Structure 1
Amino acid sequence: MAYYALRKRLLRHLLDFLLLRQHQQDPTAAASVRGLLTLAQYLFEAGIDRLAWGTLRKAEKLARTNEQYEQLNAVYNLQIARAHSPHADPLDDIIRQRNLNKKDADEEERANIADSLIRQRLRQARVKGRAAESFDEILQQVLREYDLQEAFARRPALLLRLMSITRAAMLVRRDYASFAPFVMRCYHLMEKRHGFRPAHREAQLGLLLMIAHALYRTRRFAESVEYLEQLRALLEAGPRLLRTAMWPRYTFLLAANYAFLRRNSESIVLLEAVLRLPLSPREELTGRLGLGFHYFAEGQFQKANQTLQAIGRTDHYCEQEMGIEWVINRSMGEMLIQFELGNADLAHNRLRAIERLLKERFGPGGGGYASVLSYLQLVGELIDDPATARCPAFATRLHDIPSFVSLGQEDLQALSFYSWLRSQVTGQPYYSVLLELAHAPESDPRP
């Protein structure tokens, strides 16, 4: 009995701690409204009705200003339950306000349902091998079914959610070129028709970050930085908690853009600074892998190696947190670093580990990573005999790697790996080759 009593008490303390921690770290208005609502309930129970009603009115104003319809509904329900108090507002007024808000709250609930349905149908389409099945058809069908066409056009929070789904669908097809103009058009249409109020700050920041990332993916680096500058201005003018929450993602993307604008040394300074801040595990992994890339581009291979070693996490952990592709990118980076440091055996070990992972997961041919296996074969030959890079036949095989850097469809990470191998063939500095290919015209950048 003593054990169970102790366990219940510990669980209660843990829940109290988690609630307090969540409230302290949640930068949204919803958290503030929940806090005021909890305070009002406590004051009612303590018999301090006048102060409780003052707190409820403050919660109502905050929820309405920030379009927190679900929280506002809870505020009105508590007001109705306590309407017998001499300090209460007229019940008829409360009910009228509650009914008006209920329409918006119901719309938000329908949007949540639509969000889940669209994601589910996209997953089903991919499982059936129809990832390219018209996303527009799936989207329009669900929006019509839940009467949400107009809601997504006038509410920034819902637009951000819709854009997140659209982005996920397009990234599956690596269709970055189509997504960038689409999200930009939606953002500027919203800005022109309805504008962004302070209540929309979080959604606006999310949309700006999405646009900047889409532009980066399509190699429009200077334009991406322009949108990041808009985002930074909003962050600096907004709540501190929101700025703290979004600052790492802003910095990672800015540093990535700078690398392709011949400002790689500035990228290093940015990432070194942000990695000194308290970060989530995902942010820590993103930042360290990015910093390792920037050191590598500068030819600082020892620092690049130390940075990746400092991750200190197993491949299994990283895969659970970041996905299999992140693990492959890290392993390939480690392989190239060891080669540059003259550690041929370590480079070979990493190469074999990557090959084994790809074949075990995706079959002997590597599935969608077949081009990576072709790339690894060339790197393996180079590790065995660096002079191989000067052979014309080697350059021809490098050129023939299938769809490794097709412009507009390929990840910039893949381009960076390809650039390293090409730099070995041409004898040019790796960073110079990377910039040359990244800024190549809309055609195949290979010779």
Structure 2
Amino acid sequence: MINIKEILHSFTDEKLEEFISYLEKKNKRADTKNIQLVNLLITDNLSSKEICLKLYQKDNKAALHALRKRLFKSIIDFTANSNLKEENSEDMQLIKFIISARFFLKKGQYNIGYKILDKAEIAAKEHQLFTILNEIYHSKIQYSYAVSTLKIDEIINDFKENQQQLLLEEQMNIAYAKIRKMLREVQHQHKIIDIQKTIESVLDEHQIKTSSSLSFKSLYQLVQITNISSVQNFDYWNIEAFLLETYELIKNHKSKEKQLFYHIEVLYVIANTLFRNKKFTQSLTYLERMHFYMQQQQRKYYKEYNPKYNLLLALNHNYSGKQEKAIDLLTPFVQQKNVDIIAQLDIYLSLIVFYSQKKDLKKAQNLFTKFYHTDNYYIEKAGIEWTIKKNIIEILLQIDLGNIDIVESRILSFKRGYFNHLKSIHQEKVITFLKLVEIYYKKPEIISTKDFKDKVENSFNWIGKEKEDIFIMSFYAWLKAKMTKQDIYLVTLGFMKH
């Protein structure tokens, strides 16, 4: 049985109000109980029997089952209608064109039918809608016998060229799905694979190479795959050049203006990669470009991307020495409702780091209370890298707060849960860091001794300040500040300079 309660809880408050209004308009009888059922499902944790008693004053399972079926159908109709208004109206318009054209062609009104198909073809080419183009050419070829002036060989040639583009896009889509599935297994099931080789193998299998012949959507998928692989390995340095080169293809792509969502997403990925590589000026340049496109098409995607944009903007400011500005940017999002869950988690965690670096530990601790779910929940929602980062930040925060008993249990839990995964992705430096933290919290008096400093210096195999990930360096800055008895934020900023 489909969980209607789960569906309703996925609606924003605004969307839920719209749905209830939709039901009110649809209801023809005063005794219809669908709105009552919605209110019971979203406000109370009741069993089916308890819901029956509230609705019918008796245990009437058959009536409740029928009511649920009608409510589910209403949900499908409502979400479909609202999404048809909001999403990809171009696709729907062209489908209407094709249906209309086929009606006229069947009636023998060939001139009208082909004129409609010609208009649809121009628009479909602009938006690189290869599936729709396939249907357009199919109809053009089917009735070409009836119009002597039509050049059927040209239409067939267009059809075959489109089929090649469609096949290429579908091959990319299959490769994208396979790679995402494998990466998800790494992320959620701690499977051990060589990510880079896996990606190369799948792309080779489907004969996919980066070129301008790829559709805008396919280039976006290629960028996403590359980005996800870097996240898994904390390695942003080695993908930067590829992303910038791919963006040159995207920037000059003929359908750029028609693919706004993908364009914004790619700009975000590039800005984030540059930030992780500590190239703040370049990151801000791409963020500015992202903000420009967020305002296009009547700000169609502005609300969706605003939290992510402000988060990345705040991170750039914080690590450029503008901490107060960074905090001011993110503070309004703490109480804001209907923020994407991943963006919200990132905002909380970033603010906790900012407050900790500012030595405002009480605010950091209060904000940390929002993380009340299990690690498995956070791995499912935000991924294993995020969950590892959250756990390390909590350990450091508890040490700063002096909660030693909590620190011990958190470190033990971290060792059990993540050491094997960190070894599998060759991130032993995180393990080394935590072992040094453990030595420090057990014997804080040794932190400034020469032996401990030598141990720290000899423990890490750094790949250079330029290539090392910004967050890994931030953790090390915490330890360095303890060793030198300097301000943690100033030490962090010192590490940011090449």
1:301 deviation in Å?
1.4
Could you say which residue in structure 1 is the equivalent of 2:78? 17
Question: How many equivalent pairs are there?
Answer: 419
- CA–CA separation in structure 2 for the residues paired with 1:249 and 1:422: 30
Cα separation, partners in 2 of 1:429 and 1:56, compared to 1, 3 Å: farther
1:173 deviation in Å?
5.3
Could you say which residue in structure 2 is the equivalent of 1:151? 213
User: In structure 2, what residue type is equivalent to 1:269?
Assistant: D
Post-superposition Cα deviations, 1:11-38, rounded to whole Å, max 9, x if no partner, equal 3123223324544664xxx345327747
Could you say which residue in structure 2 is the equivalent of 1:233? 292
- CA–CA separation in structure 2 for the residues paired with 1:373 and 1:174: 14
CA contact (8 A) 2:192 2:424 kept: no
User: In structure 2, what residue type is equivalent to 1:287?
Assistant: I
Cα separation, partners in 2 of 1:40 and 1:195, compared to 1, 3 Å: closer
Could you say which residue in structure 1 is the equivalent of 2:491? 433
Percentage identity across aligned positions?
Answer: 23
Which of 475, 479, 484 lines up with 1:417 in the alignment?
Answer: 475
Could you say which residue in structure 1 is the equivalent of 2:22? none
Moved more, 67-76 or 161-170: 67-76
1:433 deviation in Å?
0.9
Cα separation, partners in 2 of 1:173 and 1:323, compared to 1, 3 Å: closer
1:396 deviation in Å?
1.8
Which of 396, 415, 418 lines up with 1:358 in the alignment?
Answer: 418
User: In structure 1, what residue type is equivalent to 2:460?
Assistant: P
1:66 deviation in Å?
2.9
CA contact (8 A) 2:313 2:326 kept: yes
Unaligned stretches of 5+ in structure 1? 84-88, 442-447
Q: How does 1:278-293 map to 2 (within 5 A)?
A: 278-293=338-353
Could you say which residue in structure 2 is the equivalent of 1:142? 206
SS at 2:459's partner residue?
coil
Cα separation, partners in 2 of 1:78 and 1:10, compared to 1, 3 Å: farther
Which of 166, 171, 184 lines up with 2:244 in the alignment?
Answer: 184
- CA–CA separation in structure 2 for the residues paired with 1:196 and 1:178: 28
SS at 2:371's partner residue?
coil
Moved more, 105-114 or 315-324: 105-114
Could you say which residue in structure 2 is the equivalent of 1:86? none
1:210 and 2:269 correspond:
yes
Could you say which residue in structure 2 is the equivalent of 1:444? none
Could you say which residue in structure 1 is the equivalent of 2:171? 113
Cα separation, partners in 2 of 1:367 and 1:73, compared to 1, 3 Å: closer
CA contact (8 A) 2:128 2:255 kept: no
Moved more, 397-406 or 325-334: 397-406
1:376 and 2:438 correspond:
no
Q: How does 1:26-425 map to 2 (within 5 A)?
A: 26=87, 30-34=88-92, 37=95, 63-71=124-132, 73=134, 100=158, 103-104=161-162, 107-117=165-175, 120=178, 123=182, 130-131=194-195, 133=197, 139=203, 142-143=206-207, 149-152=211-214, 155-172=215-232, 174-191=234-251, 194=253, 197-275=256-334, 276=336, 278-359=338-419, 362=421, 368-403=426-461, 406-425=464-483
Cα separation, partners in 2 of 1:39 and 1:283, compared to 1, 3 Å: farther
Cα separation, partners in 2 of 1:308 and 1:101, compared to 1, 3 Å: farther
1:218 deviation in Å?
1.8
Kindly name which structure, 1 or 2, has the bigger radius of gyration based on alpha carbons: 2
User: In structure 1, what residue type is equivalent to 2:244?
Assistant: M
Cα separation, partners in 2 of 1:134 and 1:107, compared to 1, 3 Å: same
SS at 2:359's partner residue?
coil
- CA–CA separation in structure 2 for the residues paired with 1:415 and 1:91: 70
- CA–CA separation in structure 2 for the residues paired with 1:292 and 1:245: 23
CA contact (8 A) 1:73 1:98 kept: no
SS at 2:290's partner residue?
helix
Cα separation, partners in 2 of 1:413 and 1:68, compared to 1, 3 Å: same
1:402 deviation in Å?
3.5
Cα separation, partners in 2 of 1:341 and 1:24, compared to 1, 3 Å: farther
Cα separation, partners in 2 of 1:129 and 1:376, compared to 1, 3 Å: closer
Could you say which residue in structure 1 is the equivalent of 2:29? none
Unaligned stretches of 5+ in structure 2? 1-61, 108-112
Could you say which residue in structure 1 is the equivalent of 2:3? none
1:427 deviation in Å?
0.7
- CA–CA separation in structure 1 for the residues paired with 2:139 and 2:339: 38
Cα separation, partners in 2 of 1:99 and 1:251, compared to 1, 3 Å: farther
Cα separation, partners in 2 of 1:94 and 1:2, compared to 1, 3 Å: farther
User: In structure 1, what residue type is equivalent to 2:310?
Assistant: T
Q: With structure 2 as the length reference, what TM-score do the two structures score?
A: 0.70
Post-superposition Cα deviations, 1:190-241, rounded to whole Å, max 9, x if no partner, equal 545x566421333332332222222222221111111111221222233422
- CA–CA separation in structure 2 for the residues paired with 1:391 and 1:309: 35
User: In structure 1, what residue type is equivalent to 2:360?
Assistant: Q
- CA–CA separation in structure 1 for the residues paired with 2:465 and 2:116: 57
CA contact (8 A) 1:405 1:414 kept: no
- CA–CA separation in structure 1 for the residues paired with 2:359 and 2:149: 71
User: In structure 1, what residue type is equivalent to 2:292?
Assistant: A
SS at 2:275's partner residue?
helix
Post-superposition Cα deviations, 1:128-164, rounded to whole Å, max 9, x if no partner, equal 96555496676456336xx985512xx4332222222
